[in-house]
Chains A and B, each alone.
Chain A
């Protein structure tokens, strides 16, 4: 499935001459096409270097930067108990999404480590379960927001290459919110299944049974009759305004 594909490591050709290659992470291997050291040409298989994994610095400027943001101001409180990760909605789906660990990396300014998680670090769904559980009131949910902002700032290339927004999905999502003021989960489901070419599965036995049940107990109609949120026009205007200004806003928050 899509999730698994994303977790798979790329097949490495880098460092193929290293015995026990599986013990070394890809980003720890450095190879130059052409390399001359002290006049000696060491191109080819002789110029494979394994970088030390040892951390030799704590960078507190990063910590200070986070602490100065509104969302990250409580970063100094975190004592790494892991309640946030334990309660997180996303972690069971993406083991690599670990709010506790991200906060620690931010505390120690370990950008090297954080960089490895650019693809998942923004996956917080904002359910705030972590913030409700956190014994130190760190507000880890908002810390994930601080993280997302910093990732954009520090790893723009990775964000560009790894976080491609699917314009179609974005459009469906925006239309839904702006048009109805609510997410229509059924519609989202249908459009995503269509995108994956799995329309057939939409009308399997389980789905048909569910539709029957919902028609029978009236739920189907109440879903269709869902009205827009109270005073929706004002919210809608605010959102449209926001979307219009998003570029400027992003620039000023970072």
Chain B
């Protein structure tokens, strides 16, 4: 009889793990909380992905299709793992779905529950949800995905837009010390898209550092050199309302050592990634460890990044920390291999 493996979470990481296992002949149970597969990229309708502006549908759509059409994968949507017990070297898990509860025994488990977007409303200085024209990168991603680039307040094209980096990241005040890794790249990507759409709209990025690591750097250079996106050094400390339906960013230009209060038509907050409530939920339910940042903690970040502290339970994707889709997909594959080895050994 074939091995049984449970994959929790149907984002890029979970989808790739499930597909690869199914190709090895494993019977995969894929439990997804939402009513659709695809994770955050699908939920927020990402349209074009960094680093190379591939249509998200080509990537995420393909992953979903592979998982949905594979007879070895049983997908449970709008579902959760309601009960989880160790059973020798195996695991008994109950999947609660709209169709009822189902309890099965699994040889191993992959947790790929991903991340949550930091909610900028938690940091009052940015006046998110107070002013219509203050949005964040996930909102803009969704707006662009729907072909809508205009100002939320009046439906007009913006004349100038400011991106503010590190919202909800690298800030003790909000409790997140880490860098969310993708928000710089997402911001320069969106800056390019805005400039492409509205060539007359000036785009500024307020930054402390620009961390478009590795080859993502290309996009940053492109934003400046081909699209005249202007970077301004300094974090914005306050957003207030200005004349003519503008929002004013107040900050310090640390290169010129002077305060500024600049009115913008639209402000985009580069809110970061958080482990979200699902990480602590998984930790509690499955007996996993959380790290000091609120993500699931690998057994050894360097040597065994896909292994959890619990034998037989493996981790993949953004549930262990901020990362890009390619990393999440890679980790899905790697965790699949680890989970498969464990399952075969103990089957």
Contacts and interface: CB of A to CB of B under 8 A. Distances in A.
Given A76-B228, A79-B224, A55 B204 contact: no
A101 B253 CA distance: 12
Contacts, number: 55
A28 to B, nearest CB: 11
B237 interface: no
B259 A53 contact: yes
B262 A55 contact: yes
Interface in A85-133: 101, 104-105, 107-108, 110, 113
A46 interface: no
Nearest to A100: B255
B120 interface: no
Interface stretch (A56-64, A159-167, A230-238): A56-64
What size tier do the contact residues of chain A reach? Answer: 20 to 34
Contacts of B255: 80, 101, 104
A113 B224 contact: no
B258 A104 contact: no
Interface in B223-263: 224-225, 228, 230-233, 253, 255-256, 258-263
Nearest to A80: B255
A54 interface: yes
Given A54-B260, A55-B259, A104-B255, A77 B225 contact: yes
B139 interface: no
Contact of B256 (A56, A67, A110): A110
Given A58-B204, A108-B230, A113 B261 contact: no
Contacts of A67: 228
Nearest to A137: B225
B224 A58 contact: no
A58 B262 contact: yes
A55 B260 contact: yes
Interface residues of B, number: 21
Contacts of A56: 260-263
Contact of B202 (A55, A58, A104): A58
Contact of A104 (B221, B256, B259): B256
Interface in A58-76: 58, 60, 63, 67, 76
B262 A57 contact: yes
Contacts of A104: 255-256
Question: Which of A53, A77, A108 gathers the greatest number of chain B CB atoms within 10 Å?
Answer: A108
Contacts of B253: 55, 108
Contacts of A55: 253, 256, 258-262
Contacts of A53: 258-259
B225 A105 contact: no
A80 B234 CA distance: 13
Nearest to B242: A56
A171 to B, nearest CB: 39
Contacts of B160: 58
B208 to A, nearest CB: 13
Contacts of B210: 79
A101 B256 contact: yes
Nearest to A75: B228
Contact of A80 (B221, B233, B258, B259): B233
A54 B256 contact: no
A107 to B, nearest CB: 6
A54 B225 contact: no
Nearest to A110: B256
A57 to B, nearest CB: 7
Interface of A: 53-58, 60, 63, 67, 76-77, 79-80, 101, 104-105, 107-108, 110, 113, 136
- Please name the 9 residue pairs, one residue from A and one from B, whose CB atoms are nearest each other, closest first: A55-B260, A76-B228, A54-B259, A54-B261, A77-B225, A60-B202, A56-B261, A104-B255, A76-B224
21 contacts: A54-B261, A55-B259, A57-B262, A58-B202, A58-B230, A58-B232, A60-B230, A63-B228, A76-B225, A76-B228, A77-B221, A77-B224, A79-B210, A80-B233, A80-B255, A101-B255, A104-B255, A104-B256, A105-B256, A113-B256, A113-B258
Given A55-B262, A56-B263, A76-B228, 15 more contacts: A53-B259, A55-B256, A55-B259, A56-B262, A58-B204, A58-B232, A60-B202, A76-B224, A76-B230, A77-B221, A77-B224, A79-B210, A80-B233, A80-B255, A108-B230
